């Protein structure tokens, strides 16, 4: 059986004159620039996911947001981010996806650590920006909205919530593996749309019980 290699989306082409000029001026190796770009892609992408996704969950007297609007908004946000940063870092946006990519041998262990740091910092920055730009009562953890706070529904216990999260995370990883499979390479043009709809599906079904995280 012939194994088809999957091109690394984070590699900066050597044939690009502007890239060569930038590397020469900064005295930076191509691989170093790849790592920086991947880190920034995950940081900015995760920051936008938290900022735009949680902003879409805001409710007020003039606009009564509902479950389907909020969850579909998250799917659309993921669609936009994958379209923007998928070619830079792969747009993992989630440590579980990065761990799966490491197991799938798409990223090295040091690169996975870089992704983890970018995702965590991006999440903090995104939520901090959200708190700075919208009314305080909309993002108060003690307020009526509990905006973007992952909590288990009162009618299920912690083990049930854990099982739900395990299953939907598994579905997310299976979706990623389907995208990464070389046999699926010819369908990559619609990956942002399909992945965004997959996220919306998981959020619609599990969001009412666990958040979802």
Question: Is residue 130 a part of any domain in this protein?
Answer: yes
Number of domains in the chain: 1
Q: What is the pLDDT of residue 32?
A: 80
What is the Cβ-side half-sphere exposure of residue 51, based on CA atoms within 13 angstroms? Answer: 19
The pair of structure tokens assigned to 157 is 């216990």
Look at residues 67, 73, 29, 33 and name the one whose alpha carbon lies nearest to residue 51: 73
- Which pLDDT band holds residue 47 (cuts at 50, 70, 90)? very high
Domain that holds residue 67: 31-210
Kindly tell me the burial class for residue 195, based on how many C-beta atoms sit within 10 Å of its own C-beta (0-12, 13-18, 19 or more). buried
Q: What does the pLDDT read at residue 119?
A: 95
Q: Considering the chain, what percentage of its residues have pLDDT values greater than 90? A: 37
In a domain, 10, yes or no: no
Q: Can you give the three-state secondary structure of the chain, one letter per residue?
A: CCCCCCCCCCCCCCCCHHHHHHHHHHCCCHHHHHHHHHHHHHHHHHHHHHHHHHHCCCCCCCCCCCHHHHHHHHHHHHHHHHHHHCCCCCCCCCHHHHHHHHHCCCCCHHHHHHHHHHHHHHHHHHHHHHHHHCCHHHHCCCCCCCCCCCCCCCCCCHHHHHHHHHHHHHHHHHHHHHHHCHHHHHHHHHHHHHHHHHHHHHHHHHHHHHCCC
- When pLDDT is cut at 50, 70 and 90, the band that residue 12 belongs to is very low
12 lies in some domain: no
pLDDT at 103: 93
Give mean pLDDT, residues 31-41. Answer: 87
Whether 140 maps to a domain, the answer reads yes
**Tokens describing residue 104:** 């799938």
1 part of a folded domain: no
Assess whether pLDDT exceeds 80 at residue 30: no
Task: Indicate whether 17 belongs to any domain.
Answer: no
Q: With contact defined as beta carbons under 8 Å apart, do 119 and 92 qualify?
A: yes
Residue 178 lies in a domain: yes
The tokens of 16 are what?
């690009």
Q: What is the mean pLDDT of residues 139-160?
A: 71
Supply the CATH number for residue 193's domain: 1.20.1080.10
Please state whether 25 falls in left (phi above 0), alpha (psi between -120 and 50) or beta.
alpha
Mean pLDDT, range 56-65, rounded to an integer: 71
Residue 174 is assigned to a structural domain of this protein: yes
Per-residue pLDDT tens digits for 153-204? 778 888 988 899 899 999 999 999 988 988 888 877 888 998 999 999 998 9
């Amino acid at each position: 059986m012939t194994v088809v290699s999957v091109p690394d989306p984070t590699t900066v082409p050597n044939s690009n004159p502007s890239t060569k000029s930038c590397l020469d001026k900064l005295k930076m190796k191509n691989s170093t620039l790849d790592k920086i770009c991947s880190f920034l892609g995950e940081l900015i992408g995760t920051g936008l996911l938290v900022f735009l996704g949680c902003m879409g969950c805001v409710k007020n007297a003039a606009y009564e947001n509902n479950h389907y609007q909020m969850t579909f908004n998250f799917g659309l946000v993921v669609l936009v981010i994958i379209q923007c940063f998928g070619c830079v870092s792969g747009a993992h946006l989630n440590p579980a996806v990065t761990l799966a990519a490491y197991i799938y041998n798409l990223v090295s262990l040091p690169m996975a650590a870089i992704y983890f740091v970018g995702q965590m910092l991006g999440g903090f920055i995104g939520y901090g920006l959200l708190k700075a730009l919208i009314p305080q009562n909309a993002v108060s953890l003690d307020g009526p909205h509990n905006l973007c706070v992952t909590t288990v529904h009162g009618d299920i216990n912690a083990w049930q919530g854990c099982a739900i999260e395990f299953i939907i995370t598994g579905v997310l990883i299976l979706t990623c593996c389907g995208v990464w499979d070389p046999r699926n390479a010819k369908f990559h043009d619609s990956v942002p749309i399909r992945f965004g709809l997959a996220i919306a599906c998981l959020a619609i079904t599990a969001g009412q019980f666990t958040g979802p995280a």
